[in-house]
Amino acid sequence: MNALVVIPARWGSTRFPGKPLAPVRGVPMLQRVWALARAAAASRGGEGRVVIATDDDRIAAFAAGLGAEAVMTDPAICNGTERAAAVLARLGTRPDLVVNLQGDAVLTPPWVVAALLEAGRDPAVRMVTPAARMSAEALARLTAAKAAGEVGGTTVVTARNGDALYFSKSIIPFRRSGAEDVPVLRHIGLYGYRPETLEALVALPMGPLERAESLEQLRALEHGIPIRVVEVDYRGRTHWGVDSEDDLRRCEALIEAEGELLDRWDGTGSARA
């Protein structure tokens, strides 16, 4: 399978300007994500082209210094999905799968990206995303965070064939007493698309559910595009996103406690299980 991994990396984050180049334990965030993407591709026999999509000359220059491929995109683009579609159009290629790996996904294990690539081999899959089964402890933490007013953390419920039924910022399914054996799946914000699905998706209007939850993947479900959910194992590691400098410090503490994901960050590193 021929995959294109796009890493959207904007400079102008309102909460954390310059975030892609912020150091995480001495290694710039974007360098970490690029190396993780390359490790995932290498684990599948070297399949996959990794491209950084940016709107800023500073990020493009940094990518060039890494030896990474970068594509300049319009600063007016709204989100990572649209940026991935812009890269697809600019490159003029037709990969089997386009993967959107966010530029702040520094704690995404390469085996999770590889699992997405594997699921994309199924010709029936039009769009695919991973989710991790939550432990009782992780679910308790998320429940407490939601009760305290935090918005972060998306869960998903699936049909028997693995396709998503719904994604929500609320914890779903609601489990009555005696239903504790029903798993809760935490969604991981990583997507794979068939090129034609990606092109169709960015042309569709936002629907009421996407607007209500502020979850762009709901646009696909509202318009009848199925999303395959592949369950992944984080192998005891913690999922965490970086939206602020406080998040970055928390991320560094997690790496200190759980260890690095790769043995090198020059694009030739191997995963540490």
- Is 127 within a domain? yes
Share of the chain above pLDDT 70, in %: 98
> Going by DSSP bridges, is the β-strand pair 3-9/97-101 parallel, antiparallel, or unpaired?
parallel
Instruction: Work out the pLDDT band at 208, boundaries 50, 70, 90.
Output: very high
CATH number at residue 193: 3.90.550.10
Rounded distance between C-alpha atoms, residue 19 and residue 56, angstroms? 12
Angle between helices 80-91 and 195-202 (to 10 degrees): 120
Write the pLDDT tens digit of every residue in 225-262: 999 999 999 999 988 888 888 889 999 999 999 999 99
- Is 239 within a domain? yes
What's the length of the chain?
Answer: 273
- Is 83 within a domain? yes
| pTM value surpassing 0.75 | yes
- Is 76 within a domain? yes
Range of the domain at 11: 3-258
- Is 263 within a domain? no
Quick one: tokens of 3? Answer: 């995959």
Q: Domain count for the chain, please give it.
A: 1
- Is 268 within a domain? no
Count Cβ atoms within 10 A of the Cβ of residue 17 and give its class: 0-12 exposed, 13-18 middle, 19 or more buried. exposed
- Is 269 within a domain? no
Between 17 and 99, where is the model more confident? 99
Cis peptide before 28 (omega within 30 of 0): no
Write the pLDDT tens digit of every residue in 81-137: 999 999 999 998 899 999 999 989 999 999 999 999 999 999 999 999 999 999 999
39-44 mean pLDDT: 82
Q: Which residues pair with 193 in a beta bridge?
A: 98, 127
- Is 273 within a domain? no
